[in-house]
């Protein structure tokens, strides 16, 4: 989106927000919004009217605002409910990310014990083994596309083992995940995504049948036990929860590992500083989360009660979408916000969200990134971009800030 186009746009559409062109210039666009239009109108097709939030303080306030709901059934009457855009929508949307208290609390409680500090720390040796295994395969080549051979397989192997999913199925998850996070309402894309989600539902049904026959000590078996008890988890919630854990369990971390590596490659002084001072790794990860937030835009929130923001009435049924990427570059909160500084102090980013829906897997993502990046820098100290940084392409995607590929030589 050029500067001229930005000035003439009065309403952003879903397709614009999802475009590569928008991703390429989003940070400059957000900067203008924070200055002059912190509440920006959106047209979201079948979802209706929406607003884009760009300032940090507004994001913090709205992420905890009880007038905003994640479950549209808590906003719309039976007569007002929109028809499902996808046939398989109901089977995959009854998860905690789309729920409000008390349902959200019930669903989160069922899985949060698998993501405690103690449990995550026990995974450290396993994650290290995976990182070394993946680099062993590519190091002799002196070249790799980081996304395909390292950033994607590492977290998908980890979450697959936690859930008890056959590793040979992991490539399928990559395709299904993209269909799930694709917000497009273009008819041809809807049809394709519905087909892919149908495949995913069939896969989940088969997987659950197998786990019922042969339960094990994995997270899916534990969820099936909760579902069998009747009051804790419905069948739709079971499928939706497994889907969420598969997708959220790897998608954000793929982007974190890739985006952090890209930021280091583009900022040689920071890369060299981290190589010389590996004790800065935790701080560097937090800065990477802020600088290129893996989740660019939040999933939608529905307005249950009208309220006023920046002099504008937000009406019932309006959609609120928060740009975490913009909030994390808010100049009023982060001095020199457009500078990548791995020693940044008081880094209060909200890359993992805020409030009830703060990312359950944040600690796991941080550990995976720490091991992945530390191992990469240790084993490939001369790593560099293969090609110019201007040639790297951001994916056209509504929710995520994700590179299509990241070619590296070493």
Q: What is the mean pLDDT of residues 103-111?
A: 92
Out of 105-119, 126-140, 179-193, 379-393, the most confident range is 126-140
Q: 68, 301 in Cβ contact below 8 A?
A: yes
The CATH number given to 3-409 is 1.10.630.10
The Cα–Cα gap between 27 and 324 comes to 11
Q: 56, 330 in Cβ contact below 8 A?
A: yes
Residue 40 has pLDDT above 70, yes or no: yes
pLDDT at 120: 95
How confident is the model over 219-242, as pLDDT tens digits? 999 998 877 666 678 888 888 999
Long-range interactions of 141-144: CB distance < 8 A, separation 24+: 142/409, 142/410, 143/386, 143/407, 143/408, 143/409, 143/410, 144/407, 144/408
Residue 2 has pLDDT above 90, yes or no: no
Q: 351, 330 in Cβ contact below 8 A?
A: no
Q: Which of 398, 295, 351, 288 is nearest to 20 (CA)?
A: 398
pLDDT category at 5 given cuts 50, 70, 90 is: very low
User: Can the peptide bond before residue 143 be classed as cis, meaning omega within 30 degrees of 0?
Assistant: no
| Axis crossing angle, helix 251-266 with helix 235-248, rounded to the nearest 10 | 20
Query: Tokens representing 235?
Result: 């069948």
pLDDT at 195: 86
Greatest pairwise CA separation for the chain in angstroms: 62
Mean pLDDT of the chain: 91
Residue 91 has pLDDT above 50, yes or no: yes
pLDDT category at 190 given cuts 50, 70, 90 is: confident
| Axis crossing angle, helix 103-112 with helix 219-228, rounded to the nearest 10 | 140
Residue spans of the domains in the chain: they are: 3-409
pTM value is 0.92
């Amino acid at each position: 989106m050029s500067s001229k186009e930005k000035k003439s746009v009065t309403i952003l559409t879903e397709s614009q927000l999802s475009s590569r062109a928008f991703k390429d210039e989003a940070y400059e666009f957000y900067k203008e919004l924070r200055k002059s239009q912190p509440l920006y109108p959106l047209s979201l097709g079948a979802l209706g009217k929406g607003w884009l939030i760009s300032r940090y303080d507004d994001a913090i306030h709205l992420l905890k605002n009880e007038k905003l709901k994640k479950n549209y059934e808590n906003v719309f009457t039976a007569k007002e409910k929109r028809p499902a855009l996808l046939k398989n929508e109901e089977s995959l949307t009854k998860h905690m990310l789309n729920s409000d208290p008390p349902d959200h609390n019930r669903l989160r409680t069922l899985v949060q014990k698998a993501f405690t500090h103690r449990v995550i720390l026990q995974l450290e040796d396993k994650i290290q083994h995976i990182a070394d295994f993946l680099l062993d395969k590519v190091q002799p080549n002196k070249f790799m596309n980081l996304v395909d051979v390292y950033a994607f397989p590492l977290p998908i192997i980890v979450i697959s083992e936690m859930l008890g999913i056959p590793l040979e199925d992991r490539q399928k998850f990559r395709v299904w995940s993209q269909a799930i996070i694709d917000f497009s309402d273009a008819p041809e894309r809807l049809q394709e995504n519905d087909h892919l989600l149908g495949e995913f539902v069939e896969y989940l049904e088969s997987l659950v049948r197998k786990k019922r026959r042969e339960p094990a000590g994995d997270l899916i078996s534990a969820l099936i036990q909760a579902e069998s008890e009747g009051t804790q988890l419905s069948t739709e919630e079971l499928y939706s929860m497994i889907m969420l854990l598969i997708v959220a369990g790897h998608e954000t971390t793929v982007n974190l590992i890739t985006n952090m590596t890209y930021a280091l490659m583009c900022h040689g002084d920071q890369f060299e500083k981290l190589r010389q001072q590996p004790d800065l790794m935790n701080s560097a990860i937090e800065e990477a989360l802020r600088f290129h937030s893996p989740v660019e835009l939040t999933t939608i929130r529905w307005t249950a009660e009208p309220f006023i923001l920046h002099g504008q009435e937000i009406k019932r049924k309006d959609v609120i979408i928060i740009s975490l990427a913009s909030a994390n570059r808010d100049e009023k909160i982060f001095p020199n916000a457009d500078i990548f500084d791995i020693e940044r102090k008081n880094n209060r980013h909200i890359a993992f969200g805020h409030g009830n829906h703060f990312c359950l897997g944040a600690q796991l993502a941080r550990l995976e990134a720490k091991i992945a990046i530390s191992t990469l820098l240790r084993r490939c100290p001369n790593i560099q971009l293969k090609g110019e940084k201007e040639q790297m392409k951001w994916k056209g995607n509504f929710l995520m800030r994700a590179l299509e590929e990241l070619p590296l030589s070493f």
